[in-house]
Structure 1
Amino acid sequence: MKDSFFRSMTWLHTWVGLLVCWLLYLIFFSGTLSFFRDEMSLWNQPEIHNIQAQSDRISAQKQQIITGFDYLNAQASNAPNWRITLPEQRVPYLTYGFAKPKEPGQRRSKFEDTQLDPNTMQPLASFRETKGGNFFYRLHFDLHYIDVITARWIVCFASLFMLIAIVSGVVIHKRIFKDMFTFRRNKGSRTWLDAHNISSVLALPFHLMITYTGLITLIFMLFPYPAETSYDKGMRDFFNDVTPRNNVTDKAQGAAPMVKVNSILDQLYTKWPNADIRRVQVSNPNMAASTITVLVSPQKAFRDQTPRLIFSGATGELVAQTDEELSAGKALYESLNSMHTGRLAEPLLRWLYFLGGIAGFVMIASGCIMWAKRLRERMKKNAHPSFGLKLVEGLNLTTLMGLPLATCAFFIANRVLSLQVAGRADKEVLAFFLTWLVVAIVALIKRDRVQWRVMAAINGLACLAVPVINALTTNGNIVSYLINKQWALFTFDALFILSGILFFIQTEKLRTAKPTTKAIKKNTSSDLKGQKA
């Protein structure tokens, strides 16, 4: 414990933030990209770029479902599961799919999907295999290559450290409103401190919300004890209680013809006249135990769990449904979850989420760099840097320059890999991690200003290469996207061009930057002490 409360909070803020800052940067980086995961998946599949949005998507859903039932009954009447995924505003195509029999050692059945143009109802050419934006979404909390439960525990503890760092940062920041408008250029650590303050304060409500709600999304993993003590079978019984389940047709035996899907849809539209259907799932089709589950968009309601109705596939009887009126506790939990995921956000709010996420990883990055620069500025002349300083500088270069470059490699791989290569989606992911590994090796060897300048230039070239390679390997480019008003694709390419320009600006700044003078060092040190005193 330090000699005063504020010094203790300063020590806590510094070390709690530093210990997990590189992991938090990865979490913020991938989570921020995830707000546009559907758009990234769309860009990764150029085969569907020319599908036109339906003029009246919701009114066409009923006929699309009826056609889907006829198609699946003809193609896979004995399949264990069917699913019909309807077009949405951000996902333009219609999908009819059925599950294949499980292979030995396989946990879940693989689906055979047929994608259709919803305007013509004609099958589309096979899509290229890709994880698209879902890779970044899963990386955000599963960290890839790590056991899922272990990864989520790691993310939980990192989020808890983040929350402590935010609260302690507010406590020690006496000039919080003044510093929100203060930025001093070319002042060494002071400049990075100003960048840290501005990015922290401007998006402080977002940082608090996204960190706290991130913990709430995994609250039952962190605190399972109330459910474990209240239910005989613990968490399993708890989730069965809060999620609509079919307990009516489970014991039915033998085959039975499927009820006409019209009768199911009539019940649905009687209950929810303005329903926007997302998906229809059928378990055990053409059996007495079959069920038909209809998932409906919550639209503007603060609900993370998709509202659903479950019908008997043999009789058409409604056997289970989502609660229409939520308890106070469940309503709070659903609201906090939906706030974190941002799935219900309209375009403007989604962009605000995105900008808040950028402020988050700018805050983390500036904190990492500021810590290393302060140690460098305090070193005596001709003194050798410590192992800790070398480690921090290496991790800074690896994370801050490696992640953008790896992201470019992921999207470039999507365009240059052969469509026939086996495990194509996994090879895109491999390109991401191999690129990141190369940057880490470079950072182990050398971490000085020259390496930062070289990596900034490489990042600039890689960012510009993404739209260029896209134009060379597909029938679209940023100009055609603008002419055809394909705004998602246009914005994707434009953001990479903008990022490339920013990296080249950074390259020039690093080339012309002057070494920090001793006077600036002394002023910086006193300024930092005054800020936290």
Structure 2
Amino acid sequence: MKAATLRLYQTLHTWVGLMAGWALFIAFFAGALTVFHEELHSWQSVHRARHAAAAPAGTPDGASVDRFVQALAASHPAAAASVYVSLPTAGEPELSAYWQEKNGAWQFTTASRLAAGKTSPAETSLERVRGELANFLNSLHYSLGLSDAGMYLMGAISVLYGLALVSGVLLHLPRLKKDLLAVRPGRNLKRFWMDAHNVLGLFSLPFHLVFAVTGAMFCLSMVLVMAFDTLAFDGKLMPAVPRLTAAAPEVDSAGRPAPLLPAATLLAAARAGGGTAFTPTSIRYQRIGDANAVAEVRGNADGALGSYGSIALHAAAGQPRSGQVMGDQTPAGRDTNHAVYSAMYGLHFGTFGDVALRFVYLVAGLAGAFLFYSGNLLWIESRRKQRQAVQPRVHKLLAQATVGVCLGCCLGVAAAFSGALLWPERPAAQVYFPVFLAALAWSLLRQPARAALDLLYATVAATALIPVCSALVAGDPFWRAAQRGDWAVAGFDIGALAMACGFAALAHATRKRARSGPLDSVWALPPARPDGATGVAATAPPVLPGPPPRH
């Protein structure tokens, strides 16, 4: 490959990585945790030990679903038109539902809240649920916590991310055989980190390609649909989207009353249609109490790449087609469109495997976050002016911003974990964003190396505090959860301790690098002055040593 072509790919890889690196660090760090989204719901409950004892075994009780749905439709007429009912699980032992009011506001309630008469809009607002830790981390993953605008931004960044991957592969392709496993520790720390960056990037390339393609599709799908709807389909595509993305179409009211079929009948029919591997997790009801009532039973099928699927049934009793299947989008019967979309969802979130696979996704996500962090550090270090005490201002600003965004995200997430237990009614965003912005401001006021050390030590403390809050606030320390076999809870506390050790090791390595590395690096701590203070004298910059001789 020509040298000019290699330089072009290097420039593309570098600048695309720099522009997208900060957002991708946040997406990967939060995304690594969201592979255990359901388990996090159990962990963040301050009453989780009681929930564990009350968790239902086997299939959900159809009679309780019927009572809940009827009470919900009576209390909230808008829910009768369309409502999503989540079935109990070990982590979420209560029935819950969410629906949209006529004014467009989304509402949420549970069986206990409905029974307690908490039916006012303020008490049923979905914002309270969106603010929970597990849901906030998911939002941080796909939209940086910035709602729709952030989702579209992440879609564009995913496209840039794909460009960086392709250019990186083409850049390293000529020396792939020689440097495939070359990780060379020693005095040349820059070379060591470059080797680690390249090796991690190469061996995690399949994961990154999957994340780039599926991330762009999930975040930009509606943008593409709207564009094609206007440019190619003359406004006919948007009305067809519900039919293309679900097993049940949107139905209108027949104007004739009819009772619902029992939930037990609907669940039995869904299991019969989806096969023995299909496990229902929720039901979407349309037109409750009407002759056109439809129930779409949604769930997961073990052993399928696209495990998520649904079966739509005519749900009105006493009608000619009562209980008949009107749409099957489970792995055994879905069409090509649903098969592709479901497979991409499974590949992105690792839902097609067991806990071991999700651990692989966890490690891959954390390794991906390290790639973006180390990539920015390497770019700054590679442009260091040799034997020059004062480095370009832009390099220092980039170093400060990299430290503030990346380590500020880690610190904010750690604080949000403890906040979920200390203030369960407060949205996690109210804990994360103040901590994140304070960390970013702190990094801009300090030398990069000093800011990195400060934030790393703060993150060590915040992460170590998580199992402490778990034991004191929830009254459920990880050793007790482990004794009863509740590893979904114990795993987060043990993982927090492991992460605290990891951040402590990173702080130690950062301090060592800052003390013993080149003095002209932005990652060096200023040398001590004779009066005991630190910093570089303003009147006479020190004479910096030259590079060590090459052997």
Return the TM-score normalized by structure 1: 0.83
Mapped partners of 1:98, 1:327: distance in 2: 28
Q: 1:490 to 1:251 in 2, by over 3 A?
A: closer
Kindly state the Cα deviation for residue 137 of structure 1 after the two structures are TM-superposed: 1.0
Specify the alignment match of 1:358 in structure 2: 366
Specify the alignment match of 1:431 in structure 2: 431
Specify the alignment match of 2:541 in structure 1: none
User: How do 1:113-132 residues align onto structure 2 when only pairs under 5 Å count?
Assistant: 113-114=110-111, 131-132=132-133
Specify the alignment match of 1:49 in structure 2: 49
Specify the alignment match of 1:197 in structure 2: 198
Kindly state the Cα deviation for residue 176 of structure 1 after the two structures are TM-superposed: 3.0
Q: Does 1:252 align with 2:254?
A: yes
Kindly state the Cα deviation for residue 229 of structure 1 after the two structures are TM-superposed: 5.5
Kindly state the Cα deviation for residue 69 of structure 1 after the two structures are TM-superposed: 0.4
Specify the alignment match of 2:347 in structure 1: 339
Contact conserved, 2:155 with 2:217, CA < 8 A, in 1?
no
Code of the residue aligned with 1:331 in structure 2: it is: A
Specify the alignment match of 2:497 in structure 1: 497
Q: 1:226 to 1:482 in 2, by over 3 A?
A: same
Kindly state the Cα deviation for residue 199 of structure 1 after the two structures are TM-superposed: 1.7
Q: Does 1:481 align with 2:481?
A: yes
Mapped partners of 1:196, 1:351: distance in 2: 21
Specify the alignment match of 1:73 in structure 2: 70
User: How do 1:292-311 residues align onto structure 2 when only pairs under 5 Å count?
Assistant: 292-303=295-306, 306-311=309-314
| Bigger mean CA deviation after superposition, 27-36 or 435-444 | 27-36
Contact conserved, 2:470 with 2:476, CA < 8 A, in 1?
yes
Mapped partners of 1:247, 1:139: distance in 2: 31
Q: 1:134 to 1:443 in 2, by over 3 A?
A: same
User: What are the Cα deviations for residues 115-169 of structure 1, in whole angstroms up to 9, with x where unaligned?
Assistant: 59xxxxxxxxx999751211111122222235x0x32331122111111111111
Contact conserved, 2:387 with 2:546, CA < 8 A, in 1?
no
User: How do 1:6-21 residues align onto structure 2 when only pairs under 5 Å count?
Assistant: 6-21=6-21
Specify the alignment match of 1:242 in structure 2: 244
Specify the alignment match of 1:529 in structure 2: none
Q: 1:519 to 1:53 in 2, by over 3 A?
A: farther
Contact conserved, 2:257 with 2:291, CA < 8 A, in 1?
yes
Give the 3-state SS of the residue equivalent to 2:23 in structure 1.
helix
Give the 3-state SS of the residue equivalent to 1:279 in structure 2.
strand
Mapped partners of 1:245, 1:461: distance in 2: 48
Code of the residue aligned with 2:163 in structure 1: it is: I
Contact conserved, 1:76 with 1:98, CA < 8 A, in 2?
no
Kindly state the Cα deviation for residue 83 of structure 1 after the two structures are TM-superposed: 4.8
Give the 3-state SS of the residue equivalent to 1:306 in structure 2.
strand
User: How do 1:427-466 residues align onto structure 2 when only pairs under 5 Å count?
Assistant: 428-466=428-466
Mapped partners of 2:549, 2:229: distance in 1: 56
Mapped partners of 2:38, 2:380: distance in 1: 37
Mapped partners of 1:9, 1:101: distance in 2: 51
Mapped partners of 2:456, 2:299: distance in 1: 46
Mapped partners of 1:277, 1:205: distance in 2: 31
Q: 1:53 to 1:169 in 2, by over 3 A?
A: farther
Kindly state the Cα deviation for residue 339 of structure 1 after the two structures are TM-superposed: 0.9
Pick the aligned partner of 1:389 from 395, 409, 414: 395
Q: 1:441 to 1:245 in 2, by over 3 A?
A: same
Q: Does 1:375 align with 2:383?
A: yes
Kindly state the Cα deviation for residue 75 of structure 1 after the two structures are TM-superposed: 6.4
Code of the residue aligned with 1:354 in structure 2: it is: L
Give the 3-state SS of the residue equivalent to 2:47 in structure 1.
helix
Mapped partners of 1:269, 1:171: distance in 2: 48
Kindly state the Cα deviation for residue 392 of structure 1 after the two structures are TM-superposed: 0.7
User: What are the Cα deviations for residues 33-53 of structure 1, in whole angstroms up to 9, with x where unaligned?
Assistant: 211122222211131334448
Pick the aligned partner of 1:410 from 388, 391, 416: 416
Aligned length: 500
Specify the alignment match of 2:153 in structure 1: 154
Kindly state the Cα deviation for residue 438 of structure 1 after the two structures are TM-superposed: 0.8
Mapped partners of 1:248, 1:494: distance in 2: 46
Q: 1:179 to 1:115 in 2, by over 3 A?
A: farther
Mapped partners of 2:25, 2:547: distance in 1: 29
Consecutive unaligned residues in structure 1, runs of 5 or more: 117-125, 527-533
Q: 1:185 to 1:437 in 2, by over 3 A?
A: farther
Q: Does 1:349 align with 2:357?
A: yes
Q: 1:186 to 1:454 in 2, by over 3 A?
A: farther
Mapped partners of 1:188, 1:303: distance in 2: 43
Code of the residue aligned with 2:191 in structure 1: it is: R
- RMSD (Å) for aligned C-alpha atoms: 3.4
Contact conserved, 2:243 with 2:250, CA < 8 A, in 1?
no
Give the 3-state SS of the residue equivalent to 1:463 in structure 2.
helix
Contact conserved, 1:78 with 1:286, CA < 8 A, in 2?
no
Give the 3-state SS of the residue equivalent to 1:460 in structure 2.
helix
Contact conserved, 1:280 with 1:295, CA < 8 A, in 2?
yes
User: What are the Cα deviations for residues 278-313 of structure 1, in whole angstroms up to 9, with x where unaligned?
Assistant: 112333422334333322323332337532213242
Give the 3-state SS of the residue equivalent to 1:381 in structure 2.
coil
Identity percentage of aligned residues? 20
Kindly state the Cα deviation for residue 88 of structure 1 after the two structures are TM-superposed: 3.9
Kindly state the Cα deviation for residue 73 of structure 1 after the two structures are TM-superposed: 2.6
Code of the residue aligned with 2:371 in structure 1: it is: M
Mapped partners of 1:248, 1:500: distance in 2: 49
Mapped partners of 2:142, 2:34: distance in 1: 11
Mapped partners of 1:453, 1:131: distance in 2: 30
Mapped partners of 2:506, 2:264: distance in 1: 61
| Bigger mean CA deviation after superposition, 320-329 or 24-33 | 320-329
User: How do 1:91-110 residues align onto structure 2 when only pairs under 5 Å count?
Assistant: 91-97=91-97, 106-110=103-107
User: What are the Cα deviations for residues 76-123 of structure 1, in whole angstroms up to 9, with x where unaligned?
Assistant: 53633355422346x341315476966xxx42341321259xxxxxxx
Q: 1:12 to 1:268 in 2, by over 3 A?
A: closer
Contact conserved, 1:163 with 1:208, CA < 8 A, in 2?
yes
Mapped partners of 1:469, 1:246: distance in 2: 44
